Amino acid sequence: MTVYDDRFSQYITDLFAAQDDGLRHALEDSPKQGLPAISVKPEEGRFLQFLVRTCGVRQAVEIGTLGGYSGIWIARGLLPGGQLITLEREPRHAAVAREHFEAAGVADRVEIRIGDALETIRSLSAEGPFDFVFIDAEKSGYRAYFDWALANVRIGGVIAAHNAFRHGALVDPHNTEADTEAMRAFNRRVASEPRVISTIYPGGDGMVIAIKNVE
């Protein structure tokens, strides 16, 4: 019997994912500024922070900044002197995120790069290898982002990707939307990749996690 449901999600959030003013502000202010309310949940943010610290991350990349909520969690998991480079296509989202990074006290550790991440990742390779990559942008790009991440993280580096469950659509056999099929293909791609050890963390909307094992 699986016992995990929203009550346990809330229980974890209340116990382990308490938000300070900076996090709460980023989460609540983003929709007020017209951004979609699609940030990771506190429970997932805490998990990202935990991952980043367990793998001793100095150089992290995020693909899909939005209002900076997940970026604040990631930035707060970095080792001292570490840096997060976060990629965002929409200048408006980047401007809002910049305010939120400042309010949360992490602006000194975070650099936002504006542009289509499918393009900006190309020149970013020269700044690697990276310790951690978080993928949370358009679903049709996930496979390309994963291939890039796999080539640009060190051995022992971790790749995480949000929305593994696509709000339940993935396990609904009648749902054949393009983004659902894209996530199914993505999950299969990661699961069958022999260079990583991977699984899905089932909190929130599901997080694909993969650690690079060999070059």
Helical spans, DSSP H, in the chain: 6-16, 21-32, 42-54, 69-75, 91-103, 117-124, 142-152, 178-191
> Which of 136, 142, 145, 166 touches Mg ion (CB under 5 A)?
136
Residue closest to Mg ion when measured from CB atoms? 162
Phi, psi of 172 (to 5 degrees): -95, 105
Task: Decide whether 156 or 207 has the Cβ nearer to Mg ion.
Answer: 207
Task: Decide whether 37 or 155 has the Cβ nearer to Mg ion.
Answer: 37
162 is a contact residue toward Mg ion (CB under 5 A): yes
Q: Are 110 and 73 in contact (CB under 8 A)?
A: no
Q: What is the DSSP string of 161-189?
A: EE-SSGGGGGG-TT---HHHHHHHHHHHH
The entry of Mg ion, ligand SAH, none near residue 163 (CB within 5 to 8 angstroms by kind) is Mg ion
The entry of ligand SAH, Mg ion, none near residue 89 (CB within 5 to 8 angstroms by kind) is ligand SAH
- Mask: binding to ligand SAH, 136-175, rule CB under 6 A, as x and -? xxx--x----------------------------------
Distance CA 10, CA 14 (A): 6
Q: Which of 36, 45, 94, 37 has its CA nearest to residue 72?
A: 45
For the chain, the first-to-last Cα distance in angstroms comes to 38
- Mask: binding to ligand SAH, 32-71, rule CB under 6 A, as x and -? ------xxx-----------------------xxx--xx-
84 is a contact residue toward ligand SAH (CB under 6 A): no
Residues that bind ligand SAH (CB under 6 A): 38-40, 64-66, 69-70, 87-90, 93, 116-118, 136-138, 141
